[in-house]
Amino acid sequence: MNPDRILEGLNPEQKKAVMCTEGPLLVFAGAGSGKTKVITNRIAYLITQKNVKSEDILAVTFTKKAAGEMQERVTKILQDLGVEGEKIPLIGTFHSIGAIMLRQNAEIVGLGNNFSIYDSDDSENMIKEILLERDIDIKQIKPSAISYFISSAKNDMIAPEQFPFHYGGFIEDVVADIYPVYQKQLQAQNAVDFGDLLYLTVKLLEENQNVRSRYQERFKYLLIDEYQDTNTVQYRFAKLLAEKHHNICVVGDDDQGIYAWRGANIKNIQSFENDFENVTVVKLEQNYRSTKNVIKAAVNVIQQNNSRVDKVLWTDNNEGEKISIYQALDQEDEAEYVLSNIRLLQQKGVQLRDMAILYRTNYQSRAIEEAFLKSGIPYKLVGGFRFYERKEIKDIISFLRFCFNPKDELSLDRILNIPPRKMGPKAKAELHSFAKESALTIGEFLIAAYVCENRENLKESGFSKDLIDSLSASKDKWKKYLSVISLFGNLYFYSKGKELIETIDYLLERVRYIEWFDDGSEESIMKKDNITELKNVASSYSKKHGISSMEVFLNEINIIEQEQTKNQDGTGNYLNLMTLHSSKGLEFDFVFIIGAEEGLLPHSRSFLEEEELEEERRLCYVGITRAKRKLFITFAEQRLTREGFSSQLPSRFLGEIPQDICEYYSYR
């Protein structure tokens, strides 16, 4: 077969990456440099030009979606080349490949080959039971926190017995006790968790030479995508499989390494040349995606990082439009600026699906969402929930709805056992029967029962003295629920005559809502950020509407929820909203990066560590390189916080973009 068909349309460096089939190969693939085409064509080249059997090739990706797309592309290129009946190589995620290997060797690791794979909820439930057996307060030591440490340990290839030598601290001491018990219980139940899929596989390969030799011989050619995102266990997995034939090709870009917070180590790609001898290095530096101005902005930002491999992204595309940088007054003004530009782009015939709004943290979507809902622009959140659909926001709004309308049984049902207070289905059914006896809803019963203990609230409650006397007489039946009654009664009566922000502050403190989920994880930090943003909104309503603020807020929330339901156009033509992390691997004609401020981008958590600051710069670089035709960047002069408006400084990354390729605008 003529190899020219496979190499057609490739630039010299891409051809080199495709044709270098023997020995270790390191491909630095810059943003928009045609990485996927190189990978798929390389697989086709191995099969058609080097007569490599498809079963001798293993390609590893990070997501199921990426694996599926790679399979489709390889299938298509082989069909186009007229290769009939050739099997597709094994292409999968690290974890799916690990699961296959474990099932094939289950007995060696003490499992049956029909083992179950537990998800995070299953794992946390098991950990919860272990904690309870040890009389450990799960409100103080959360199962999710224990699960996080165990997962991190497995990613770092730390066995239960090794854990105490690597981690120290109060909660870590608890983990050291729980981890070995947890692993024994998993094995007893013929189950593994997600972390085990690689942890146990690597142990299997390291400790069993026959198994290791078998897979090394089977997978003579190994290809790993997004190598900059590998953690310790993935790195060791790759090295083990490649140590015999050394035909390992890793593809990635250290400039796009943005997942250190979940264990990724960009040094894995930066030090690849130290792991193998005679490594061929190919740099894909030509960008086919973006305009010259976008690339110039990205390059000037990323070159400020010291810890990176030297390379320079470039393009033959046209200069393109200048980068628009807008100084907004606040987040509401920022949202209006974005909205007005989207309207202008629509008038020029640009489809919403070709635009994206990127932000550092999830809570930043709130102001943008509200602006779009009011204007009727359909949007979708990529990789997340709309602001008012996020669990913590819905929980707090349900508490507010109860305070405003205790007959709202849907809202009460949502929060009666949040945080957990032993109010399961049986307890709810019993409360319902108590309420029914007095012709009340459950919410009304809780308030009436509270009044039985706090008669000074009788007049304000609106209940008759006869009803309260009747309930008091049957107190023995419901007194075991006094703590729940006290909680909800307190919330209800406190909210009367209070501004919205006061009620939210009180319920968060009284319910201990944040303490319930706050385990220090990235997820809990995002939840707290979302709650802070909700409090910012509440402060605005309180300032504007006073004691009517809760009523006005709940009315408008209902409208927003209705608008969210209607926010569909049936065509799939939606505006894309997402975090900068979620934008990795995507591209859009027009990109808006909002909140380019010190403390947001870069995030304040990165200020003390150079490594973390460099990761924030890489994150900014990823965001910039998503844009094909035009980039907009905004920052606010002030943002609303609980304490009021706080002054903001423009991101240092803005100062790293050459002024001659920018146009500057301001609300002033």
**Amino acid (one-letter) located at 11:** N
- Cα gap 91→100, rounded to integer Å: 12
Q: How many CA atoms lie within 13 A of 618 on its CB side?
A: 26
Does the annotation count 226 as an active-site position?
Answer: yes
Alpha-carbon dihedral sign for residues 538, 541, 547, 550: negative
Does the annotation count 40 as an active-site position?
Answer: no
Supply the angle between the helices 549-566 and 391-404 in degrees, to the nearest 10: 130
Does the annotation count 556 as an active-site position?
Answer: no
Does the annotation count 551 as an active-site position?
Answer: no
Tokens 């299997």 belong to 204
Which among 499, 586, 632, 614 has a CA at the least distance from the CA of 267?
A: 614
H/E stretch holding 191: strand 191-193
What's the token pair of residue 63?
């997501």
Q: What is the DSSP letter of 245?
A: T
- Cα gap 433→442, rounded to integer Å: 9
- Cα gap 500→539, rounded to integer Å: 7
**Amino acid (one-letter) located at 234:** Q
Torsion of CA 579, 285, 44, 88, to 10 degrees: -20
Supply the angle between the helices 482-495 and 442-453 in degrees, to the nearest 10: 90
- Cα gap 123→83, rounded to integer Å: 45
Instruction: Determine which one of 5, 21, 36, 353 is catalytic.
Output: 36
- Cα gap 12→45, rounded to integer Å: 15
Q: Is 583 left (phi over 0), alpha (psi -120 to 50) or beta?
A: alpha
Which among 221, 302, 224 has a CA at the least distance from the CA of 268?
A: 224
Q: How many CB atoms lie within 10 A of CB 75?
A: 14
Instruction: Determine which one of 71, 256, 270, 286 is catalytic.
Output: 256
Instruction: Determine which one of 196, 225, 254, 615 is catalytic.
Output: 225
Tokens 């006094």 belong to 482
- Cα gap 269→282, rounded to integer Å: 13
Task: Number of helices (H) and strands (E) in the chain: give both, helices first.
Answer: 30, 17
**Is 284 within 8 Å of 17 (Cβ atoms)?**
yes
Does the annotation count 256 as an active-site position?
Answer: yes
Q: How many CB atoms lie within 10 A of CB 610?
A: 11
- Cα gap 126→134, rounded to integer Å: 13
Torsion of CA 424, 429, 430, 434, to 10 degrees: 140
- Cα gap 474→468, rounded to integer Å: 10
**Amino acid (one-letter) located at 194:** F
Q: H helices within 191-330, ranges in order?
A: 196-207, 209-218, 232-242, 267-270, 272-275, 292-302
Instruction: Determine which one of 626, 628, 630, 652 is catalytic.
Output: 626
Does the annotation count 659 as an active-site position?
Answer: no
Task: Show which residues are catalytic.
Answer: 35-36, 225-226, 256, 626
